[in-house]
Structure 1
């Protein structure tokens, strides 16, 4: 039984809801559907599963894009109702005829809905019964197989095994001995078990029974002939002289070993302090505080070139035919009309490094939002699809919550506690380097920063962070290696509270998303310290792997958390953005799969090379 059926506009106005059901929904499945599915361009999916304490619902929906109406049905997931899709289609058709933009109350639709639901349930029951009675029993199945085998012996069945027909193998003992439960021989099984040699027992090739097999005698003859030819060829070809292998020269060591220490990572070493260059906070303005300006001249030039290309293409295809198609086309767009343009758009997104799965889901969502809409005059389908995709990309990449870290830092300072940021990610993406960039940017805004060296797993990680701290003149909290990173982070936060530090930047070990022990340690660190921000550091070079990394990181953090509301990734820091040219699709893939915004973009090696993500620039790059 349905739990709820709701009709509302895209603006959020509820037009009609089923009063017969009357069951109060647990949690907020409708709000969650709108927030995490419809607004994030996942409307192309067939259904959405909602889980809450004591509730498990399945939601299905459909749109009337021309009127801007959404129809949503909610039912218990365990029920598997078969008539929901049919009911939604009928409700959509009947309510569209009744809809008036000036009306807000539709009490007269109650009786229509009752009739539609009875029809949908009766139709589903008939389909269910027809499937049950139409299913053959074991006896009838055996009779059908016997008839098929008999027809096969008469020459009607072309897909016969070697044990059922032919001159030689039809009377073999194996084919007679293998019987099914219904008394008929299983010819397919006999044909699989039969050796290829059985087809040539009499020395002749069995063409009828062994169409896919080969003759062993022919194979021996070919080997004999081929062997002589290969021998002569091998003898004629001169042997190449083997290259001399380069040998490593032996290192000459002194007789007496040096007394000085070889470990140059001692924090008290004077030589290390002399080699480190201190970077002043006024060394340069961080790119985070600079507004990225997109030149309008280049855009207009690109648009003019695109228009010229479009005109030449339309001239080749026929100017009148293309214009006639755009003006006098179908009144309402159908999925078949959108398919060519969406396929071209999907291929374009994939060339820009967008994961294939994400590109496909985006195209399905755009198709769902355009299906049934009227095409405006003098408008091409391709331009309509591209405009809809542009709106969808802007909606996805635009953060849905505040990402003003400086405001959050000052709010935490008023509460007399440090603002804690944890940097997580896979190996080698540049967590420590970009942590230092964030620290430099915070320093420019007069924020007291402290680093916490919680990468106690990788050799040299503490020394690397210590070098950044000395260059930036920032205090660092460290406990060495082989320590519990959760305890180190907790002590670092306590130290920052005593010293009056405003922000604690926690560096963690790089770990692959499938590494269970390290993911468990990361979950412990986050659950124990409850940081204000969990930043996932990812490369802009990855494509499909970005989906796997982020989804598994979030999945592990949720599975390993003891809290009913597990802490997941809050934001993304995208590194190596200066190395990808126009292949900016990783940003879209990461935001789409996690729902977390891109808060920082690393674009160089110096401390100033950190900037914000320009959404309009990314969208234009993806679609050009």
Structure 2
């Protein structure tokens, strides 16, 4: 049963509505989560117990949304939306800002016709299915009857466990039952192609002996040609029980060697300079940024496609096109999709983006002196800016001061897969907070990986920050809870919680992480991910969020609040992981790690990322 159908403008003005009152606010959620976030390409969405479908009239700037129960499969919804869109566009007056009550009767008639067409289609499909099933049954019965009579060939046994079928032309096929190898003979000749998959041990031994000789020869030649390098003799360290513990601790020595003597690391944050988080990045005005280069996007999509003549393309750009169709947009969108994928955007995300841009442009009138490729490029640029710009402002420094007024520490939990650099970037964030006169405490809650506590302890010593630790094989949720209590006692403003790296499919570790977040209710959950990943970014973030939701005992589970991208300095122009992560999670990129020192932490420059993606 159809629950509601709504017609409104892109500005949010409701022009006409029909149906029952809905529980919750599924249409508001649709607008926030899909229409404003460039996820409208799929034209379907589920929220609680409802399914929503929609279509656009881009030329008039109208949105048509149908809402029905999720458990129902209404076949006529798409047909009804198309009919309503067609009929309403005939009576719509852009200057009129009031409701259209006279459309009620038209809608009732359209609904009855759509339901009747769906019912007829259902009956005809059932009839076709029944006829097909009867034909299959008749064919099976006929085949069984012919088999009993022996028509079409007879089975024979040659006495060696081999069976074959005599064919009509006299050829035969023999299948060996005692092995998985097949041999076919046609007109008495053996067919060699049937043994392609066979494993010849003799050939393998010959290849091994031949390869071994070649390998030995290469090794001999290389040894003769090589000159032995001089061996660097390193002074052996003495590991003795009588040696004081202080002499065995080399973590504070620059370079970690004995030649450094007792020179300690005065390599503190204040001596490294200002964090890059507080510096504004200046975009270079390259010639590649000009719009003249961007308008020819569609030319690269299909090299073999037929090109329009000069006069027709020029006339179209001068006079404009009546309404853009999907076929007009496909070449430019294909080129943009390929370009995004070369910049490391996940294929699934690139495809959805192009579908969303197509949905926003289809049916729209092309302006004069404008090419289709430039229109598509501008729409894609606008969509990328909208996605990468945070939906809500997350100002950590403001939130820290707000928590301080309530006399409680601001808690940040760093999560992510193995080896992405959580501890290192946690130290960078701590350094940045120190520069803003914020007192920080680290919590060593990675009680799983060997050396994790020592690594965080080294960062804490270098930054002169207190650290709370309980060693290994402890419950990280309880360690974090005690760390927060300790921070409340000693007056620390922020607690940075380091957690163990875990793969998104590791359920025991994901359950422990869910417990840590549920028990301590942190102010910010930061997902630390590599900028190097492409399609894997989608899998990591979506499964992290899914596991946190599934394994939480709360009715409103905490998910990822923000993203910290690491190793951003190693990817050149392959910046697509940022787009993939933001699109799949809806969480903003709050920090970008771009080096090895404590100052190498940046904000994400949205304009720079968009320019790089479309360049």
Q: Same fold (TM over 0.5)?
A: yes
- Counterpart of 1:65 (choices 58, 64, 67) is 58
Match of 2:448 in 1: 457
Match of 1:142 in 2: 137
Q: What TM-score does the superposition give when structure 2 sets the normalisation length? A: 0.84
Q: What TM-score does the superposition give when structure 1 sets the normalisation length? A: 0.83
Q: 1:66 to 1:236 in 2, by over 3 A?
A: closer
Measured against aligned partners, the alpha-carbon deviations of 1:426-469 in whole angstroms (never above 9, x if no partner) come to 11111011001100100000000110010111111111111111
Structure 1 unaligned segments of length 5 or more: list them. 154-159, 175-194
Measured against aligned partners, the alpha-carbon deviations of 1:91-135 in whole angstroms (never above 9, x if no partner) come to 101111111122212011111111111111111111122222333
CA distance in 1: counterparts of 2:11 and 2:192, whole angstroms: 78
Q: 1:310 to 1:480 in 2, by over 3 A?
A: closer
- 1:591 lines up with 2:566 in the alignment: no
Alpha-carbon contact 1:278-1:470 (below 8 Å) kept: no
Q: 1:149 to 1:394 in 2, by over 3 A?
A: farther
- Counterpart of 1:113 (choices 82, 96, 107) is 107
Q: CA deviation at 1:319?
A: 3.7
Local SS of the residue matching 2:16: strand
Measured against aligned partners, the alpha-carbon deviations of 1:529-557 in whole angstroms (never above 9, x if no partner) come to 00000000000000000000000000000
- 1:472 lines up with 2:460 in the alignment: no
CA distance in 1: counterparts of 2:151 and 2:421, whole angstroms: 66
Measured against aligned partners, the alpha-carbon deviations of 1:10-40 in whole angstroms (never above 9, x if no partner) come to 111111111xx33x21111001111111111
- 1:373 lines up with 2:368 in the alignment: no
Q: CA deviation at 1:202?
A: 13
Structure 2 unaligned segments of length 5 or more: list them. 176-181, 224-230, 257-261
Q: CA deviation at 1:218?
A: 2.0
Q: CA deviation at 1:329?
A: 6.4
- 1:332 lines up with 2:310 in the alignment: no
The worse-fitting range, judged by mean Cα deviation, of 231-240 and 500-509 is 231-240
Alpha-carbon contact 1:276-1:467 (below 8 Å) kept: no
CA distance in 1: counterparts of 2:124 and 2:193, whole angstroms: 59
- Counterpart of 1:259 (choices 237, 241, 248) is 241
Alpha-carbon contact 2:155-2:165 (below 8 Å) kept: no
CA distance in 1: counterparts of 2:607 and 2:473, whole angstroms: 45
Alpha-carbon contact 1:486-1:524 (below 8 Å) kept: yes
The worse-fitting range, judged by mean Cα deviation, of 42-51 and 61-70 is 42-51
Alpha-carbon contact 2:468-2:483 (below 8 Å) kept: yes
Alpha-carbon contact 1:282-1:444 (below 8 Å) kept: no
- 1:293 lines up with 2:300 in the alignment: no
- Counterpart of 1:547 (choices 538, 551, 562) is 538
Equivalent positions of 1:229-268 (< 5 A) are 239-240=213-214, 242=216, 258-260=240-242
Match of 1:186 in 2: none
Q: 1:69 to 1:311 in 2, by over 3 A?
A: closer
Q: CA deviation at 1:82?
A: 1.0
Match of 2:77 in 1: 84
CA distance in 1: counterparts of 2:274 and 2:66, whole angstroms: 53
CA distance in 2: counterparts of 1:132 and 1:202, whole angstroms: 39
- Counterpart of 1:128 (choices 116, 119, 122) is 122
Q: CA deviation at 1:146?
A: 6.4
- 1:421 lines up with 2:412 in the alignment: yes
Alpha-carbon RMSD = 4.0
Q: CA deviation at 1:320?
A: 2.9
Q: 1:566 to 1:270 in 2, by over 3 A?
A: closer
Alpha-carbon contact 1:353-1:542 (below 8 Å) kept: yes
Local SS of the residue matching 2:559: coil
Match of 1:101 in 2: 94
Alpha-carbon contact 1:265-1:463 (below 8 Å) kept: no
Local SS of the residue matching 2:379: helix
Alpha-carbon contact 1:281-1:443 (below 8 Å) kept: no
| Residue correspondences, number | 572
